[in-house]
Structure 1
Amino acid sequence: MTGRGPEVVPGGAIDPVTTPVDHAEDSGEVSALTFDDGPSPNTTPALLDFLAEHDVKAVFCVIGRNVTAPGGAAILQRIVAEGHVLGNHSTSFADMGSWPASEVRADLIANLAIIREALGDVNQPVPFWRAPNGSWGATQRVAVELGMQPLAVVNTIDDWATQDVATLTSNLRAAMRPGEVVLLHDGGGDRAGTLAAVETVVMERLADGWGFAFPKGAGHRHP
């Protein structure tokens, strides 16, 4: 790959392409859960408790300034230790759609460094990239150059607009489609309603025989 620079360890995606991936590694009655905007001390630990209890794995697309906030590194360490996969979601919540490729690259590299420093592992896989606000611009191409697979903004539940539990539960039932990625948030504000919806709908799907997988392109992961 070009444009990465010899000092940057690639993210670890398998054969990344610029088209954002919207399907899980497996097909049929499976879902690929992805969580953006964390880690958050208010939501992520409780979410991890629930996922661990039911042996469900997910992708956590993390914001650098939340990793460096008090408690953020410890939560990130737990995410990785419990077998979840990481996505790069930029160092902040800035809209990058109009940024030149050089600025995008600098931010993505900076966030990789933040993640890896927090984990004490310069080789930590971060195989996914999702642009804040779904504003892609040059970010898809840059992410692929850095060994990260863009992760689609699809099957959202509008949990940035409301935290009403009934609404989000209904939205998640509709958004969790067979073999597809679903997008939720564990950070960026109050996510108690999101967490409640996840607990309800995931339990329903497990009872119905569904499984949970990573999105396509996750690559090799630490045990």
Structure 2
Amino acid sequence: MQKDQLFTRRRMLLAGTAAAGAAGTAGLFAWGTGGEPVPPAAPAAGAPVRRLPMKPSAYRLQPLTGYGPPSTAPRRIPVRRVPLLRVSARGRTMVLTFDDGPDPRYTPGILDTLAEYDVRAMFFVCGAMVAEHPELLARMADEGHVVGNHTWSHPLLTRLSRRQIRSEMSRTCDVIEDAYGERPRWFRAPYGAWNRAAFQLGAELGMEPLAWTVDTLDWTTPGTHTIVNRVEQGAGPGVVILSHDAGGDRTQSVRALRRYLPQLLDSGYHISVPHRQHL
């Protein structure tokens, strides 16, 4: 998929705003003091109306240089010393996350289950896997899931130089943007091994570090029943669940999701994705 062929949701929103703005300001409305469009007064019958030159007014957009919301500089991402372990949310909200994909053997099954229950999740993907299966990220975008950066080749960051860490992260950001349509806003260190350079470089690339609250340890293939029990016992408001959709045989992870997801929903949990408050 070529980068110049992608229309991100943000670009589509701006394009739609531009079209609406063009129709709404083509001599049809002025702006009132309350910020609502006010139709122009109809001319009185009789002599032709004398057209006076428009004067600058606090109620008109002078000059009119474009449409859409005013552009503002993005806020600086804080450089954290520890990753976020849970999310702040009202009520019984939880986040499901899946690492190391996308993998065509297991990711589609997870996406199918999430779609069946109309649930959104987070996928922390590896750049090398995205390069081989970009169509799975396109599906994630279409179905409203959030994609995070999990480096290019899943290395132990604490053993890499700063330059190597930057390459692992930035290459993955680029390939995610090509396949998903947006650059990632979250990242997760492989093996949960964070260091100062990872936090700094992640912030420079516009990403927040997200870890997890409950580790299902599904990568050890402990059995579907054990994975389900770990999720149900660890469930709670703001909890972030860690599972995997790649990196080995993830059959148990796919089966476990089909069992614990409806049980969480029946228990009153709202499964959602985190939102960056400063964006």
TM range (shorter): 0.7 to 0.9
**Could you tell me how far apart the structure 1 residues matched to 2:201 and 2:236 are?**
29
Is 1:47 aligned to residue 110 of structure 2? yes
Contact map agreement 2:89 2:237 (CA 8 A) in 1: no
Deviation at 1:17, TM superposition (A): 4.3
Is 1:178 aligned to residue 237 of structure 2? yes
What amino acid does structure 1 have at the position aligned with 2:213?
V
The one-character-per-residue Cα deviations of 1:127-171 (angstroms, maximum 9, x if unpaired) are 110001111122122101211000114310111111511111111
**Could you tell me how far apart the structure 2 residues matched to 1:180 and 1:50 are?**
20
What amino acid does structure 1 have at the position aligned with 2:162?
A
Q: Which residue of 2 aligns with 1:7?
A: none
Is 1:117 aligned to residue 175 of structure 2? no
What amino acid does structure 1 have at the position aligned with 2:128?
R
Deviation at 1:198, TM superposition (A): 1.5
Deviation at 1:109, TM superposition (A): 0.6
**Could you tell me how far apart the structure 2 residues matched to 1:143 and 1:189 are?**
27
Contact map agreement 2:174 2:183 (CA 8 A) in 1: no
Deviation at 1:213, TM superposition (A): 1.9
**Could you tell me how far apart the structure 1 residues matched to 2:233 and 2:243 are?**
13
Deviation at 1:208, TM superposition (A): 1.6
Moved more, 140-149 or 21-30: 21-30
Residue 106 of structure 1, aligned match among 160, 164, 167: 167
Is 1:196 aligned to residue 259 of structure 2? no
Residues 80-95 of structure 1: pairs in structure 2 closer than 5 A: 80-95=141-156
The count of residues paired between Structure 1 and Structure 2 equals 204
CA 1:216 to 1:117, structure 2 compared with 1: closer, same or farther past 3 Å? Answer: closer
Q: Which runs of 5+ in 1 are unaligned?
A: 1-11
Q: Which residue of 1 aligns with 2:185?
A: 127
Contact map agreement 1:29 1:210 (CA 8 A) in 2: yes
Q: Which has the higher contact order (CA 8 A, sep 6+)?
A: 1
When the two chains are superposed, the root-mean-square deviation of aligned CA atoms in Å is 2.0
The runs of at least 4 consecutive aligned structure 1 residues that moved more than 3 Å come to: 12-17
CA 1:219 to 1:181, structure 2 compared with 1: closer, same or farther past 3 Å? Answer: farther
Contact map agreement 1:14 1:217 (CA 8 A) in 2: no
CA 1:102 to 1:44, structure 2 compared with 1: closer, same or farther past 3 Å? Answer: same
Deviation at 1:23, TM superposition (A): 2.1
User: Sequence identity, in percent?
Assistant: 34
| TM-score (norm: length of structure 1) | 0.84
| TM-score (norm: length of structure 2) | 0.68
Q: Which residue of 1 aligns with 2:100?
A: 37
**Could you tell me how far apart the structure 2 residues matched to 1:218 and 1:200 are?**
32
Contact map agreement 1:57 1:83 (CA 8 A) in 2: yes
Q: Which residue of 1 aligns with 2:11?
A: none
Residues 3-14 of structure 1: pairs in structure 2 closer than 5 A: none
